[in-house]
Amino acid sequence: MNNRDAVLRQADRAATDATATTGVPTTYTWLWSTRVRVKESEVGRSFQVLIFLGSVPENPREWIRATSYVGSVSAFVSGTAGQRGGESYGQVQTDAVTEGYVHLNPALAKNVGRTDPNNVRPYLKDNLDWRIQLADGTPIPLERLPSLEVVVVAVQLEMRDGELPIPVGEPVLHRDITSGRLGGARPE
| pLDDT for residue 120 | 96
| pLDDT for residue 4 | 56
Q: Mean pLDDT of all residues in the chain?
A: 84
pTM of the model: 0.79
How large is the average pLDDT for residues 52-60? 97
Give per-residue pLDDT as tens, 122-170. 999 999 999 999 989 999 999 999 999 999 999 999 988 878 888 888 9
Give per-residue pLDDT as tens, 103-113. 999 999 998 98
Q: Which residues pair with 174 in a beta bridge?
A: 152
In the chain, the DSSP E strands lie at 26-39, 47-53, 69-75, 82-84, 87-89, 97-103, 128-134, 139-140, 149-160, 166-174
- Domains identified in the chain and CATH numbers: 32-153 (2.60.310)
More confident residue, 8 or 31: 31
